[in-house]
Structures are given as C-alpha cells and as structure tokens.
Structure 1
C-alpha cells in the first residue's frame, strides 16, 4: 500500500528517499523505510493523503478510508474537499478560514480541523473531526502538482474542546446562552448591522413571583421552573432569534432584522401568556408571570450598552405598570425610572403619614340596579404627585416586603367602613398571594373582624390563581379556617391565567369574577369573548356560585352581558370607585340605587390626548395639537381650509411618521384616517409599527454618532420644509 504512495511522488522526491551510499546504508534501506512507513500507517498514528493539481484524491491510507466508512477505490479520484465541511461551532482559532480557501490559494495547511461528512446513513449521529496538514507540491518547472499531507481523527479531543467552549458560553442549568455569549452576539450583530443599516430587537424578561416559588417550594423547585421556562421560550422563538439566561430569573432574547412593533408585540404577548401557564413541579403546581421590556436598534440605541439600557428601562416600566405585560422603550421612560426611585423611598412613610386611602366601587344587581356590595380599592395620594396608581405602588410594596402590612391595614379599614353601611351590603378586599401564603393570615382576618364587630358574612376576600402556587398543605389549611370563620371567597381575574377547574373543585369559592379583558372585546364579532362570558356564568351557576362581571363601561357591553345571564356588574357604567364620604352622603339621602349611565358603544382604541405634533403637506410643515388618537386615525386642531381627501403625513415624534387622509374638516378641527393602523405600545398607548431609522436621518445630514438613543428631534426639520403653505395655521389655547 505504501508503495502506491511513493508512485505519486515526483522522481526527485523519490530519490530523496533512496539510501545514500556515502552513509553506508545497506541496499535494503529503502525497503526498510517502506516497511516503517507502512507500520506507521497501520498503527493509525497518522494517515497519508495526496491530491492531483485539480484537488482530486490520488492517494489515501486504508485506515483513513475505513474511518470514512467508504471503499478506498470509491474515494480515489473524487475532490478532497467533498469529504469535509467547515464546522461553525469550531473554537479552534486555526480553523477560522475555510478548507476550500486554503486549497484554492495553494497555501500550507497546518493542523486545520474540519468536520467530516458522514459516509453512511448509520453514522449520521456520530460527528467526526479530522485534523489535516499538508503542503503544495511543485515540479522543477514550478508547475503545481497537488497536495501531499497527513491527517488524523481528533474527534475525542475536539468534542472536549467544544464542550469546554460550550460551558464557557452556555448556562449549565437551562442550556441557554449565558451573559457572555449574548453580549458577544449582540456586539457582533450591531456592528455588522450598522454597516448594512439593518435593525435588531432585544427583549429583556424577568419572572414575576419567582422568588415566592423559591421561598415556598425550595431552590430545587426554582431550578426546575427555570428549565421549564427555557423550554417554553425555545418553543416560541424557535430559530428566529437567540435566547439567553443572564442570571437568576433574568432572560434576554435577540431578534435580528425585526423592527415591526406590531410583530414584536405579538411575540411578547404570546410569551407573557405561555410563561403564565402553571408548572407541574414535584406533584405541585407553581404559577408565575413575566414582564418584558423591548428595545430596537438603531432607534433605541446603536451600541450594545445603550440598547440594553433602553430595554432595561422598558422592563422596569412594564413591571411598575402592573407586571404581566410588555413595554416598548420610549424617551420618557428615563423620567419614569427616577420617579419610581422616589416612590420607593416615599412608600415606607405613606402608611404612617395617612397617605393611603380606600375607595369603594359598587357592585350592582342588574335586576333592580341596587347596590349589593363594594370592592375596596387602595389609593395612594402622594403629597407632590397626587394619586399614584395601585398598579405602580403594589409591586413596589411587594418588593419592599410591605405588602403584609399594607394588606392588614386595608382589611381593618374596610371592615370598619362597612359597619356604616346597611347590613345587606358586603365589602370585598383583595388579598395578594404573598399575604395568603403567610401562615398568620387567618389570624389577621379574625382580628379585623373581632376589632370591628363586622359580621363575617359581609366580608369577601378576593383571591387570584397565584395563591395556589404555595405549599398545598398550608393553602388547604388556610381555606378551611377562612370558611369556618364564615367569610366569603371570590376567585378574581378568572379566565386570564390557567384557570384550572381543579381550583374550583378544591377551593371553597362563593363567587367567580369575570375579568374586564373579556368585557372589552365582548361586542367584537371576531372574538369569542361573549361565549366565554356565557360559559363562565353557566359554570358558576352549575357550581352554586355567584358571578360578578367586571369592567362594563358602555350600554352595548351592558346589554350583551345581561343577555348572557349576568346578575351582578361592577363597572363605570354604574360608578367609579367612591370615597367613603361619598357613600355616606348617598346613604344619608336614602339613595342606594344607581341607574346605569355611559356611552352607547364601547371604543377601546380611542384615546383622548393633548399634545403638539407635526402635520406635513407636500413641502410645508404645520404645528398642530392632537386631541384624539385611535388605531385607525387621529383628530387635531390648528389648520383652516383643509379639503377632504387631502394627504397628510403626521409626525408623532421619535421617528414615527403616519401617512393619513383627511376624512373630516370643520373649521380648525381636522380628522384623518391612517393608511396603516397603529399598534399597542404595551402601556395602554399606541405607536407606529415602524419608525424612520436614524440611519436615514444620518443620510439626510445628521451625524449618526450625535444621535442620542431614543431621543430624536422632530423627524422632519421645519427649516427644510420651506415651501409655500396652502392652509392657514391658527394658534390653539394652551400651546
């Protein structure tokens, strides 16, 4: 076999291998050398290979052919490069350049690791790597003859190297990328995308109530939960992006070439819903949620640090707005962060300084519009900023471990206030999962009832599904004691989470509350919300429970839920939350009947606004004041004489341009319809799907490096739009 190898060498090379007479070698020295080389090949220490000038194999060791799982005669004559492919995960710095490149340049090959293509179907699951070395061969005239080289199987060593590399770049618990890999990946993408003017979105996530799982079920349960979260994220994102666990319960998702905020919102909403489904762990059920902050390059940051900072701010805003939601970054969030820092400091003093109040929203019987109960809603009146939303300060109270103190205060105050109402009227108090998990919670309820003297039947405790995430034995004991006390129990936000029917079977609830999210869409034909409401009401009646429908605001909603069997309604169509004094005044006049009052139709997408925007017509820009905004259009004031059908571009700021058509023009008031509908910004507002890239602004003359992340000037400079105006601009009061 080795003789064949020598035949492919040039005559000069062969002579170099012949014994030299002046060395005193015996005539059989050449044969010995052949024998030694043959033993060398058979030992498998290294294999020999050679190609012709066209790169086709003209020699290969038999051991190498066996490693390839192909007959030797089948291999000779085929291109050497066809046996290998470059491995994208190769950590060896010597293997960065493709094998084909080396051969085409006729350069020397030193210890190049290549990924061998499997030779048979049976070995496809056995990845194999070879290390190749070789040098180009030229004849006396300098004509290229091909390559001569050696090779060996380095699969074992290489797989170890891959594993070491993986351990350095991947999280050992979940298998997701770690912070180091995600940072490198994001730096690389942003650098490449900047050159190509492409976009890249990142999502920052952390898990709501994860700490409670660790505290109540133990750290092994928390680890198992993180593994299941990682699996769910993979099922959602697939190959469209990369997912990383940065540490603890914090995750990051990189989504290249995606700046459509409509699609990003859909992905984020899907993540929120799927992550919120329960997790079976050690024959128990854990329920968590997630909040998501979204930032998009190049609009919200051009470099990694700026983009990550923007996504962090958006995440904080999502958490501070009530959690279980997503939020896009906007420039105003920088002020929100400072505001939250101040709130954290001030909340500790709020209870002591009597800044926290309870307001009460009526629950009304639909048959006769009589008030049957009130839900206690906490309000914080800040001395400087006025009323602070519970969606903002309740999460802060949980983080500061003030929720038990705050919850106990609310329970005592509600029982005291309810004593002033008719005995037929009850009061409902919200109980957080943290409170419910406290083994001393039943005693707190007993003390509140004993101190006030309120009949336990007039106290209703509203619970969400998250209370079931704690220790099952403690939960069962707490439910048992509360029912022995005689208080009423209501399952709040039913239908928005997992809503397992086992909750209704195992927990002694007296009432189910239909969440407002179903009511908001119940009149839309393309939704199943009306059927869901009817199903929940029917389920409640079958189980001997009451049902309260929340969030009814308009008469079309009112008529629909009543037709589905709703007997009790809580919503603005009857009343917003009332102060205790307002309730006392109504009771004093003998009025405890509320007639429904509200708009005929519910318009969830219409928002009243009052801010300055730009209206661009041809080559002139006008300053106007927007009064009304919806997904499909806007109304503004400030222009006279605008004909119907006029095309306008509205500049909503931060690179948001909307092409619109005038549909109504009444003196200085103009209504427009958008060519492309707006999408949710995750915070109850609206935004455009796409924005004008700062790269485009740079092309228009603004230096890219001078653009601060997420803080762009008016997209179109008024000085560049100096054409003759066709419409008359008028001043608007307050602007």
Structure 2
C-alpha cells in the first residue's frame, strides 16, 4: 500500500472553499426566491454554475492536497464529467428549494438524488487519476461517504429552503449554516478519500500517457477560477439585491407620491376637505344612487359671513386658521359617508342623505351653530356666522348643475335676509339666478362685440382748479340693458375670470386715449386706471403694463395705476414686490379707498406709492367738527409727511371743495367738478381751462 499524506494548507483552503460555496448556494436560493418569474431561469442557471464550481473546486483542492509517492495527474474528460455532475446536482437543488413547499417525502427523494450526484462527482473525480492497478475502496467508509453526501444534501436543501426569505438577520443565519454545510461537504470528501487504498507499484496513467492535467497547474487554475466564479456570483447577488431594494423603495416612494398627488388633486390643500373635482364626482355618485334607489339628499351651499373683514384686517394666516377650524367643525357634524367640500375662499358645500325634506333643517341648524361659535386665534377673539342655501333632490333639481345653482341662489337669499340663517330653495329665487347667468354669458361676448366703453372723470388741481388728468371708468353698453355701471358686473367678471381680459382692454384703451390727448398738447395730464384684486395678482401684470406703454409710445409718467388699500394689504410682501416693479417702469402708484381698511403705517411707508386717494365715504359726510373731518385731516397730514400726492374723490358740494382745499388736499374729483363722460365730451369740456366753480 502506498502511504498517503495531505498538504495542511490546501486542506484548509478546500474547507474554506466548501463554506464559501455553501454560502453562495444559500444566497442564490434567496435571490431565486425574490426575483420575478422572468428572471428566475437566469438566476437558476448562474446559481447552478457557481454552486457546482464551488463544490467541485473543494473536491479537487482536496485531491490536490492528497500526496502519494508517485506523480499524479487527472484525465480531462472525466474531470469535466465530474464538474457537469455537480452543476446538474446544484441546479436541481436550487430548483427544488425555489418551490412553494418542500414536503418531507420530496426532501428525502431530493436528498438521495443530490447526494448520489455529489458522491458520483467525487468518485468520478477519483477515477480521473486512472490508477493502475485500480483504486481499492473500503466498503464501510465508501458507504459512509455516500450516506454523508445524502445527509449533507438533505440538510443543505432544508436549510436553503428555510433561509430563502429575506429577513432582518438572514445573512448572519446563512453564514452560520454555510459553516455547517461546508463542514459536511468536506467530511464527505475526506471520508471518501479515507476509503481509497492504492497498491504498491501503482501508477497514474493520466501522467504516464501525458494526456492529463498536472497537479501544480491544476491547483492554481482551480483556486483562481473558483474564487473568481464565487466572487462574481456573490457580488452580482449583492448588487442585484441592493438594486432590487432600491427599486422597491423607489416603487414605494412613487406609489406614495402618486397617492399624495391623487389626494392633493381631490382635496383642498388648506382644509383637507374635498375640492370641487371630488365634490362633482361625489355628487354624480349620489345622484345615481338616489335615482336607482328612489332616495333623497340635500345639497347645502355655505358662505361665511364676516370672513372677508377678518381676512383683510388681520391677515391671511389668521383667515386660514379660521377656515381650518370651521372645516373641522363641519366635518365633525357630517357622517363619514357624506361629503363636506370647500370650493375656495369661504365657500363650502355639504351633501347629506335624507329621508324627508324636513330632515335637512336640523343639519343646517347644526352647521350654523358650528360656524357661529367664537374662536380664539393668536389672542384674537373671532366671531363669524354663515349663510346657507339648501337645495333638495329631486324637488329642486335632478342634475348637479341645477342643484348647485339653486342652492347658491338660496344662500344669497339667506344672506340678503340678514345672514346667520338658512333658506330652502324656492322657484321664485330663480329669477335673480338666471339674470346673473345671462349677464355672465353676455359678459363673455361683450369684448368680442366691442360693447365696453371708457368714460373719463376729470381730476382738478385743488389750488388753481385746472384739469390735471382723468380717471378711466369702465361702462358696458349692453344691447338690451343699456349702459351698465361696473358695480353691476365687475363682481361677476372677477368670479368668472373675465376681469383679466377686460382689464387688459381697459389699460390699452386708456393708454390709447391718453396718447391722443398727449399728441393734442396735454403732455402734463395723467390718466388713472383701476386694477382689480384679480388683475393685481395676475402673473404677467408688469409685462402687460410695459408692453401697453410701448405699444402706444406713451411716457410712463402719464399713467397712474390705482390699487385699493385692501388689495395691496392682502399679501404685503408680494404686493410690495409687484408695486416696486411697476414703479420701476416710471408709472405712478395710487392707493385707492384709503382709510377703509386696516393699513399698517410701516407697510405704507415701504410702498412706492406717489398718490393717496381718500375714500368717498369720508367726503360724503364731511363737515367741520365731525369725526370724518378729523379722519380726513389726519389722512392728509399723514400723506404729506410721506411726501404723497393727496386726492379726494366724491366732491359734490362747494363746502366740501373749500374744506379739502384748506386742509391741503392736492387734487379733487367728483360730480361738483365733472361727471364721468365719453372722451369726446371730455375733450370738449377741457378745451379751455376754466374755473369750474
């Protein structure tokens, strides 16, 4: 018998390779379990190769650690066959553990098949030495090695099946299991080697015939290739796992973002109530349900009384908090399957299922009570009320449009009746509603039909009573209703959005007319144009003003833009930015209706205004010794201290004129001095500068 020895270093390397191969197998089983169906085959094939090469390498490094006192080599064909056997066994194992279940019977059968393949790999690899005489195996150790292979395969399959799920500590568990599996595989190998006996005078034909692989070359090749294959497999698995994790996180983030976008698209950002889009959908659903089940429901249109005053005087942040609290109160009253929506501003809509028309009244009463409860916000004790209009299905309409319109009409009647009340819709209310709808429809055509006119009211120098310019005032020459003052259609224009194109027309026409006067020698005149709150908030206001001045070649000093005090104070910082940009063009800024709001002198000082217009309400009741006289006197003194030009509008009596002049008012405007008139009449009136008094 030839005496055999082992290279200790190579033995240790073989065991480490077995452990690494076992860990790779466990990791591959996890990847196969986690990937989608389309990627399973790729990971199965790659895992089978990596696992098979690892086990096969352990075997051959162990063979290379084996030393006999004769040269040893290995037949290429049989070596490749042994590799093919273990790759097939590895592929079978990975496929088996990727199945949804692993019953005991299937586990035992699979263990026998896989163990036999691994044992076959070992003994085919031994046969690759082509010893003469042949290797003599100890029957007992031979049988034990096969049993170890089967037992190790069964244990490996069960462990891989258990650890295939990604759990918080799965990698640590796989590492521990890999040590156990690697030791079992190595145990099988070295038991099989111990079973082999080599007779005296044996030779290795793989070396003698010079057609086999040399041991030294083979050791380097196997170690390098094995480590490369296992490293690539593990790195690919780790990178793919991380990529899948990042992809899953991204998918979750996208799903969350999409859910948030859907929520934002269907809910009011401030109050988180349903918005108009969601209300329309809920209303259509309720209509279909009521029609199908012959049921009833009530649509309540709610407008808050006194909210605008709080919002303008205390600021938007206070108004927003008030709206949030009112929304919370409304939501607490309405049942979960019903709807509370905010249409914008201080307008709300409530949808409530009812059995009888009388059932709507208690709900409306609760909503009124909730709105009228006082609220403390930042030390401000706030009190508002609500006006509610109620429309019933099917009595007051069978479409969403009819119900909304009729509830809106009923709400306006509640407001007109003194507020803090609710009103059920009545057919007689339709007259006013249809009248407004008709005006709104005509308004959309008025620009196209060129029905708008500008009238001009003269502004006089208070000291010498000479015309210094005019204020452009909009009129609507309706084909059926005649000349309509702006008070009757501006609110509808703002509500419909038509105020923007109408405002553009006003600005253009006023500048065109001013250019005509300028060419006629009135170079010292200025024309004043009023900006609505909607216009002032429009994005392209500054560009529009600049383009209009350039179009008519009008010097910027000839234009005054009037902004109401409440408009300028709605969002002070934004207003200051817009006003500074407008003033930067060279035009004059006038603060209109001064004294009616709650201006801060700090902000007034920062505004680039050149003119202050005293509200006509103070002028109307002006008399010596009255509160209005004191207020006007204070406003004029304040304006002069800020180097502002003071204009008094609404002058209707000579006593008012004299009193304002004496107080130091710079300019006067009113019926006493001249009514608004068409440009032709205005030109004729002012051809000769005479004292109108």
Q: So what's the TM-score if we normalise by structure 1?
A: 0.40
Bigger Rg over Cα:
2
Q: So what's the TM-score if we normalise by structure 2?
A: 0.42
Q: Which has the higher helix share?
A: 2
